[in-house]
Structure 1
Amino acid sequence: MSPRASSHRPRCPRCNLPLHLCMCAEIPRVETRTRILLLQHVVETWKKSNTGRVAALALSHSRLLTYGAQDESLDTALLSEPGTWLLFPDGPAAPPDAPPPRQLVVLDASWSQARRMTQRIPVLRTLPRLVLPPPAPGTLRLRDPTHPSGMSTLDAIARAVEVLEGPEAAAPLERLAALRVQRIADCGTLY
């Protein structure tokens, strides 16, 4: 039985939130030049707190892959495509004069899972990194955004899109992230 089947409250099969918090009607269609490849740790798949799924639904130029499922192997060729960077707070930075990435790999996982993924998937260690600048103060977030583990996947993608493509491209993702936080706050609980 999947974790979803054992849940006490019914969830939306698309956004994975409890039905009373469903955001599907609010998910915008966001066009980006940069392809976003979300590499989701299998443990994150059915978490209500997971925002990677919502980001993938919003981004027209994205793909969501699962890492760590026992019956699936990861096609690392997708990670090796020319112009691929990794969104990660440390590691080999791209040269300042490098062209922007054509594809950005985003690890949709807890901080400790993401670190282990970079250790266990050799190609990730070779990718240039996009390191995000510190967030602006006063932004409503689920967690402390000053630490990499404090930023949701949706928040990180919105900030990456802002860095790579400008504030107009990122605005719908930022609004979606804020709406998600507000809905959860109105409900009074994340779980």
Structure 2
Amino acid sequence: MTTALSPFPPHAVSRLRAARLLRSTRPFLARGGPHGERCSGCRLILSHCLCHLRPIVPTRAGVCLLMAEHETLKPSNTGWLIADVVPDTMAFGWARTETDPALLALLTDPQWQPYVVFPGEFVAPERVVSQLMNDSGANNAAPESTGRRPLFILLDATWSEARKIFKKSPYLLPFPVLSLAPEQLSRYRLRRSKRDDHLCTAEVAAVCLGMAGETLAAQTLDAYLDVFSDHYLRAKQQIKVSWDDELHQRLENIRASSTVNL
């Protein structure tokens, strides 16, 4: 399998993927799709590439992805989509025995207020928050009322891996746990959780961005995820892309007001 160059500079997840591939002792062969040349920017085969649709929305909020060992290698990974849309997306590979010093530096950077996004039912109640906080630590703060920027720490992994990351990462203990209660069930179609209320990583990020007042970024990421999922499944089934359908029109309408050209 060969890879075509992306028209965009590499973001945090693509750099992490490149580093992971350098450590591989044998070529990684993605499952679930036809063999052939793939785009390095969207990981799809060239006939279904959507790089020219990529929307970039600067935000005050940031995203920190803690990624399980093989997530960066999966073409269906949606953490990649977050990094496509949100420029302030940082990504780190997770390992139980070592921690990237750059991650620790990020978590102690005074410009950020980190939130670990995780279901509150598995966490001590005193750590759980349901909304963003102000500088005094109070809940129910408007996004603009805090001097520090929200940093959403997302555990990009399967559910069993995410629970392990949460339990085995002591550097996350000082931070509040943001427990989400999204009203909509997951629309993600590429991999399924056993529970319908488990959202994929991009869906979680969109909910978080909405809570931070980043409405445009949240809507953009949702629309981009829908288009990516459509392209991915059509490529897998060897069906041509329908460029003028409702999904593409929705994304294009949002991009018209949000895209920043690099």
TM-score scaled by structure 2?
Answer: 0.61
1:58-94 deviations in Å (ceiling 9; x for gaps): 1112212222399x74222323445111111123213
Out of 117, 141, 150, the position equivalent to 1:87 is 117
The residue type equivalent to 1:79 in the other structure is L
Q: Please name the residue that 1:168 is paired with.
A: 216
Instruction: Say if 2:210 is the partner of 1:180.
Output: no
Secondary structure, aligned partner of 1:36 = strand
Out of 194, 201, 220, the position equivalent to 1:153 is 201
What is the alpha-carbon distance in structure 1 between the residues aligned to residue 62 and residue 158 of structure 2? 22
Instruction: Say if 2:105 is the partner of 1:77.
Output: yes
Out of 13, 18, 38, the position equivalent to 2:40 is 13
Percent of residue pairs bearing the same amino acid type: 28
Name which of structure 1's ranges 120-129 and 104-113 shifts more when overlaid on structure 2.
120-129
What is the alpha-carbon distance in structure 1 between the residues aligned to residue 59 and residue 38 of structure 2? 29
Q: Is the contact between residue 117 and residue 155 of structure 2 (CA under 8 Å) also seen in structure 1?
A: yes
Task: Tell me how far 1:125 sits from its aligned partner.
Answer: 3.1
- Pairs within 5 Å for 1:56-75: 56-68=83-95, 73-75=99-101
Stretches of structure 2 lacking an aligned partner (at least 5 in a row): 1-20, 30-34, 130-137, 144-148, 238-262
The residue type equivalent to 2:57 in the other structure is V
The residue type equivalent to 2:100 in the other structure is L
Task: Tell me how far 1:18 sits from its aligned partner.
Answer: 3.4
Stretches of structure 1 lacking an aligned partner (at least 5 in a row): none
Task: Tell me how far 1:10 sits from its aligned partner.
Answer: 3.1
What is the alpha-carbon distance in structure 1 between the residues aligned to residue 26 and residue 215 of structure 2? 35
Instruction: Say if 2:139 is the partner of 1:96.
Output: yes
Kindly tell me the number of residue pairs found equivalent between the two proteins.
Answer: 185
CA gap of 1:99–1:80, structure 2 versus 1, over 3 A, is farther
TM-score scaled by structure 1?
Answer: 0.81
Q: Is the contact between residue 16 and residue 46 of structure 1 (CA under 8 Å) also seen in structure 2?
A: no
What is the alpha-carbon distance in structure 2 between the residues aligned to residue 73 and residue 9 of structure 1? 36
1:110-166 deviations in Å (ceiling 9; x for gaps): 1111111111210223321222223325x7422467332xx2211111111112215
